[in-house]
Chain A
Amino acid sequence: MTGSIEFPTSEPASQMQLASFTQETLALTRRLFLQLARRPSTLIAGVLQPVIWLILFGALFSNAPEELLPGGMSYGRFLGAGVIVFTAFSGALNAGLPVMFDREFGFLNRLLVAPLISRSSIVLASVIYITATTLIQCFSIMAMASFLGYGWPEPGGLLLTVLTLVILVFAVTAISLGLAFSLPGHIELIAVIFVVNLPLLFASTALAPISFMPAWLGWLATINPLTFAIEPIRAAYGGSVDLHTVLIHAPYGDVNGFGCLAILMGLSIGLFFLIRPMLNRKLA
């Protein structure tokens, strides 16, 4: 057999496999960052929009009575957590777009013809890229919020904030990648992103506490994943990192900090399992 003469070991040792997997994943990630460096507009727009929200909404309610919000928090500080989570959410929702364009322009075929160790490198590159970029966006928002006088969390709170954001970003990235492989084209994907974005924001505790909402909206807000990310971060901004504290008084019961993180984590893992068969099929 001529084929095997050049490649004496038909399967490379597992260590070499790992090195090769790293090589392909880094190369795919590098490509995404090169694209970003040369076309930074989406990254910048992803920061500008929440900054504007922060400034406008913060100003809108700046003269509200002091005891209006639970714990006598200023509206700006209340809003901060919501806007940070919104930034992460809408940033991660875009994760599928580069993949969708690769499908449409046939670039994905170039990857599929190559002898990748595992095609999960394509997915992993997207996850690394989108996690890094959304965290950069979130930190910009946090810096802006701190500049506006809405505070900055303690080190423990900062850790909790980053952890919460990362888990949320994983979950949303999974949704977006799933959509990118199941919708027919980028127009449909952008439409879904557009339609999902704001309603999820409004039906969460990003802009107002549950006590302000009618019962039906309160229900929606307490099952909205964004709320489970917003409340721990809001608590962190309020100086509390005790995960035993009840953060959400939902109609179905109280949810503490652990509960919030566990729900987000479960969602994230569940979604990756859900999209796995589809990714396997499309990338088979």
Chain B
Amino acid sequence: MSLIELQEVVKTYGSVKALRGLNLSIPEGCLYGLLGPNGSGKTTTLRILSTLLEPDSGQVHVAGFNVLGNPRAVRTRLGFVAQDIALDKILTGRELLQLQGDLYHLRSSVKDLRIAELTARLDMDSWIDRRCGSYSGGMKRRLDLAAGLLHQPKVLVLDEPTVGLDIESRTTIWNLLRELKSLGTTILLSSHYLEEVDVLADRMAIMDNGRVIAEGTPADLKKELGGDRITLRVQEFSDENESEEVRSLLSSINEVSHVVINRSQGFSLNLVVDDQNVLPLIRQCLERAGFSIFSLSQSRPSLDDVYLRSTGKTLMDAELELAGKRDVKLESKKAMR
């Protein structure tokens, strides 16, 4: 049975379509990665799951309960770790956890026990009684995570929980998530780190522009792509026309597929080859047309390739494209309740 279920979810902010018919189904006990570039709608999706935001249309269920029909039942079963960490600077970490425990109506003994457990588990002993205002990014993240876990939720939703963290904090969080999963917690985490989803997730979905464009286990998604990835340049920096020309040349070779121009990498070309023997063929074909190969690298398919394949853009491209269009300050102002 799936513990998180979204069907045809649509959400618009004024004229911006943030979600355009999103479908997602996350089985019980799964650690699920939601991968997507900036602005693809990850936070919007997770805020809908947390009951902070209402979808315009579509069905949303968490732990079997409708988020609109029975939000309180959802809230008791859900741990939510938001993208923007909101702590109270004046309270100590412990006081924040105590407040959190009271908001979830934990009995006093359970509350203290859980705080002690999580403090030990997340290595917070030495600073938990200091005020939150003095914490580093990693400390804030860990405290925020502890707050989300205090009531032992069945379902844990985390919005880019490791962004900008030092390696130590990141490893601590990764290990904790694996441990929670082994204890049966269903976890959904968003990320725009491919590696993170690749290492951590059992299953994953790639989001782009408010939709899921690929879904499966990381291994399946990569296998589906088949073949080896080749990145090729005919010059250190090509221009658009030259790359286009090379692209059509390469596309004419039978054993070559999915030739894409990577605009963020100096118009280099990404392509997929069926087997090793194609390389000499490529070389010949280019030389005949008067091109020489400046550089060529070969690799097994990665998740970045999945993204590139599904959207025709690399993740980086997608981010750059959106970065210019967004007014983050205005968005957070509008998201204010």
Contacts and interface: CB of A to CB of B under 8 A. Distances in A.
A115 B154 contact: no
A62 interface: no
A117 B103 CA distance: 9
A21 to B, nearest CB: 9
B73 A10 contact: yes
Contacts of A109: 52, 82, 86, 337
16 contacts: A1-B64, A2-B154, A3-B65, A3-B77, A4-B64, A23-B102, A27-B102, A28-B99, A30-B99, A31-B99, A104-B336, A112-B52, A114-B100, A115-B105, A184-B336, A282-B337
Interface in B92-132: 95, 98-100, 102-105, 131
For A20, A104, A111, A114, the residue with the greatest tally of chain B CB atoms inside 10 Å of its CB is A114
A114 B104 contact: yes
A116 interface: yes
Interface string B295-337: 0000000000000000000000000000000000000110011
A104 B131 CA distance: 20
Interface string A91-131: 00000000000011111111111111100000000000000
A216 interface: no
A7 interface: yes
B32 interface: no
B103 to A, nearest CB: 4
A120 to B, nearest CB: 14
Given A110-B103, A184-B333, 11 more contacts: A1-B64, A3-B63, A28-B99, A28-B103, A31-B95, A108-B337, A109-B82, A109-B86, A113-B75, A115-B75, A115-B105
A2 B28 contact: yes
Contacts of A20: 105
A32 B77 CA distance: 27
Interface string A1-25: 1111011001000000000100110
A104 B87 CA distance: 12
B76 interface: yes
B178 interface: no
B50 interface: yes
B72 interface: yes
Interface residues of A, number: 38
Interface stretch (A33-41, A143-151, A240-248, A267-275): A33-41
A23 B108 CA distance: 10
A113 B52 contact: yes
Given A27-B98, A107-B88, A116 B65 contact: no
B102 A103 contact: no
B176 interface: no
B86 A105 contact: yes
Q: Which 3 residue pairs spanning A and B have beta carbons closest together? A: A27-B102, A106-B86, A114-B103
A283 interface: yes
B191 interface: no
Given A34-B91, A105-B86, A116-B103, A3 B154 contact: yes
For B80, B91, B333, B337, the residue with the greatest tally of chain A CB atoms inside 10 Å of its CB is B337
Contacts of A114: 75, 100, 103-104
A241 B246 CA distance: 97
A103 B64 contact: no
Contacts of A35: 88, 90-91
A115 B101 CA distance: 11
Contacts of A3: 63-65, 73, 77, 154
A26 interface: yes
B84 interface: yes
A112 B337 contact: yes
Contacts of B103: 24, 27-28, 110-111, 114-116
Nearest to B1: A2
Nearest to A98: B88
B51 interface: yes
Nearest to A12: B105
